[in-house]
Amino acid sequence: MEEIRIKYELDDELESKILQIHSMLQKLIDSKQSPFAEKYIPAAKLRQEANISARTELNWRAKGILKGKKIEGKIFYQISDLKDLFSGGNEDRD
């Protein structure tokens, strides 16, 4: 009986810790100071900022000019890669 009580206490404690971690991660993701937000830009924002069409973005990705990462169904680009590209790192654009 004591063993079962200890197991339930551990399960409750573990569940509480998991919920705390989940809450902290969600706040980090939602915050503007998220490490992810500082390193990646969504495809829609890239198109807007670079003044390119969705088709151009798709062509560049197909040619390997842009290297996107698909995260939860959305395409993101690493900001450092974009800085290299738009500062003359790849002259082969259409």
**pLDDT tens string 39-59:** 888 999 989 988 899 999 999
Residue 86, pLDDT > 50, answer yes
Q: What is the pLDDT of residue 56?
A: 92
CB neighbours (10 Å) of residue 89?
11
pLDDT at 53: 92
Contact 50, 79 (CB under 8 A): no
Kindly report whether the global pTM for this prediction surpasses the value 0.85.
no
Look at residue 11 in the predicted model and tell me its pLDDT.
Answer: 75
Candidates 53, 57, 59, 54; CA nearest to 82 is: 57
pLDDT tens for 9-38 read 667 777 777 777 777 777 766 665 555 556
Mean pLDDT of 64-77: 90
Q: Which residue has the tokens 């800085």?
A: 83
The span from the CA of 19 to the CA of 27, in Å, is: 12
